[in-house]
């Protein structure tokens, strides 16, 4: 009687093959261009969660295949998927060493660091004339008035909302910074510069009520993500300029610092330099925000660009950008750096996050998010010191 063949049964072998094929498809999504919005989102998710969505599938597939007679191609496919799942770590971890940071695997799987409860008040309406504009307030831990971090959400100028990164706002509050996550009017109903005017309005109202909210009105910084970065940096750089006044009757006082995360900084350049893969048709997004093309609205494009506002009075600036951004080219950082040089200023502080796509910090505890958060907290500690 011939010996029984070793290895998995037909059902298990089929499952193993399918798992290995799925794993390699997921792994390849990380490295192909983001030709559509859905593909950009998929690439972002898989890249940020590769140890959660790629590695386990590949390992399960290889275990199911066992050492049987399945074609070698499937085991090779599963093995290649494992290597692809580790690619974000191989690309990013050297940056931790270069910046003298430490990476926490626990935070990666736990969706961010643990911290004591944070006092959060949602849907605060501070401006009677704009009851539709609200903010979520996270009271910073610590004694005495806390420095204020105003967060301006992204969404292509026509979408998004406050509350999209609550876990990170709580982390900043735990670090001692009161956080105001604010709303602003969206295009096309509200075009440039109304969103900036709204940011100035709500920030001014918070500063007027500093005692009530327990904040130090002299220690204020903006943090804007994506389109919110373009809005926040103009709000910071144009403080006191009557051409972009607050949307309500408040003082337009300077802030101490501005942080932009993957925000467009030269809108005219961004409209003209269209990438091969443009998953959200960024030039149309800019036209909706500004109200037309540079051919008809050139002054507005330039006024909405941080590169046009650089002078000796701009606040301390931190620019954070992923080097694989599918939406906003990393060249925007270089353009603003050149504007600083033309003004005779030292380059703004910047962090280029390896293997990071647009929106990489959606995953609290992710590779890019941990690196960016450490940079932000160090920058805030230096910029918002008591005078």
Measure CA 347 to chain center: 21
As beta bridge partners, residue 19 has none
Q: How many CB atoms lie within 10 A of CB 12?
A: 16
Q: DSSP string covering 23-83, please? A: HHHHHHHTTS---SHHHHHHHHHHHHTHHHHTHHHHHHHHHHHTTSSS-HHHHHHHHHHHH
Greatest Cα pair distance in the chain: 95
Average pLDDT over residues 120-124: 97
Identify the pLDDT of residue 71. 83
Asked if residue 32 has pLDDT above 60, the reply is: yes
Please state the rounded mean pLDDT for residues 40-46: 97
Residue 8 has pLDDT above 80, yes or no: no
pLDDT of residue 214: 97
Q: Return the axis-axis angle of helices 294-303 and 282-290, rounded to nearest 10°.
A: 80
User: What's the whole-number mean pLDDT along residues 209-220?
Assistant: 97
pLDDT-derived band at 277, boundaries 50, 70, 90 = confident
Q: Which of 3-7, 56-60, 242-246 has the lowest mean pLDDT?
A: 3-7
CB 353 within 8 A of CB 320: yes
Q: In the block, which residue shows the tokens 């997004």?
A: 285
Structure tokens, 199: 């940011």
d(CA 125, CA 232): 20
- State mean pLDDT over 281-285: 94
Q: Can you tell me the mean pLDDT for 286-294?
A: 97
Range in 27-41, 162-176, 244-258, 268-282 the model is least confident about: 268-282
DSSP-derived letter for residue 109 is H
The per-residue pLDDT of the chain, averaged, comes to 95
Q: Find the range with the poorest average confidence among 10-19, 296-305, 333-342.
A: 10-19
**1 has pLDDT over 50:** no
- Residues of the chain above pLDDT 90, percent: 92
Number of Cβ within a 10 Å radius of residue 284: 12
On the question of pLDDT at 82 being above 50, the answer is yes
35, with CB counted inside 10 A (0-12, 13-18, 19+), is: middle
Q: Average pLDDT in the 222-247 region? A: 98
pLDDT at 247: 97
DSSP conformation class of 139: P
pLDDT tens digit sequence for 152-196: 999 999 999 999 999 999 999 999 999 999 999 999 999 999 999
Q: Per-residue pLDDT averaged across 77-103, rounded?
A: 97
* 187, 230 Cβ separation under 8 angstroms: no
Contacts of 290 (CB under 8 A, 6+ apart): 191, 192, 267, 297, 300, 301, 304
Query: Mean pLDDT throughout 306-327?
Result: 97
H or E element, residue 287: helix 282-290
Average pLDDT of the residues in 5-21: 83
Band (pLDDT 50/70/90 cuts) for residue 343 is very high
């Amino acid at each position: 009687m011939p010996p029984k063949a070793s290895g998995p049964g037909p059902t298990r072998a089929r499952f193993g093959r399918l798992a290995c094929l799925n794993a390699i498809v997921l792994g390849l999504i990380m490295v192909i261009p983001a030709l559509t919005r859905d593909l950009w989102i998929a690439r972002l998710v898989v890249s940020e969660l590769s140890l959660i969505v790629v590695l386990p599938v590949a390992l399960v597939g290889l275990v199911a295949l066992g050492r049987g007679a399945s074609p070698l191609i499937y085991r090779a496919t599963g093995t290649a998927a494992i290597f692809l799942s580790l690619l974000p770590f191989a690309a990013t971890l050297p940056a931790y060493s270069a910046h003298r940071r430490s990476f926490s695997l626990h935070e990666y799987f736990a969706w961010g660091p643990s911290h004591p409860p944070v006092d959060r008040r949602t849907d605060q309406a501070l401006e009677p004339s704009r009851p539709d504009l609200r903010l979520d307030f996270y009271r910073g831990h610590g004694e005495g008035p806390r420095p204020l971090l105003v967060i301006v959400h992204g969404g292509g100028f026509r979408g998004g909302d406050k509350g999209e990164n609550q876990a990170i706002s709580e982390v900043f509050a735990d670090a001692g910074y009161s956080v105001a996550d604010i709303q602003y009017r969206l295009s096309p109903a509200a075009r440039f510069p109304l969103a900036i005017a709204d940011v100035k309005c709500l920030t001014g109202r918070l500063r007027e009520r500093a005692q009530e909210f327990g904040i130090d009105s002299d220690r204020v910084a903006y943090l804007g993500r994506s389109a919110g970065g373009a809005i926040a940096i103009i709000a910071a750089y144009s403080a006191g300029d009557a051409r972009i006044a607050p949307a309500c009757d408040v003082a337009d006082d300077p802030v101490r610092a501005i942080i932009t995360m993957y925000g467009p900084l030269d809108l005219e350049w961004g409209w003209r330099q269209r990438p091969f893969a443009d998953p959200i048709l960024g030039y149309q997004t800019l036209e909706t925000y500004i109200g037309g093309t540079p051919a008809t609205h050139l002054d507005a494009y330039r006024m909405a660009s941080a590169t046009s506002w650089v002078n000796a009075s701009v606040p301390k600036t931190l620019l954070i950008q992923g080097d694989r951004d599918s939406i906003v080219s990393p060249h925007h950082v270089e353009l603003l750096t050149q504007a600083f040089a033309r003004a005779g200023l030292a380059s703004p502080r910047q962090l280029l996050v390896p293997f990071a796509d647009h929106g990489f910090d959606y995953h609290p505890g992710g590779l890019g998010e941990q690196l960016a958060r450490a940079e932000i907290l160090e920058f805030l500690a230096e910029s918002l010191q008591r005078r």
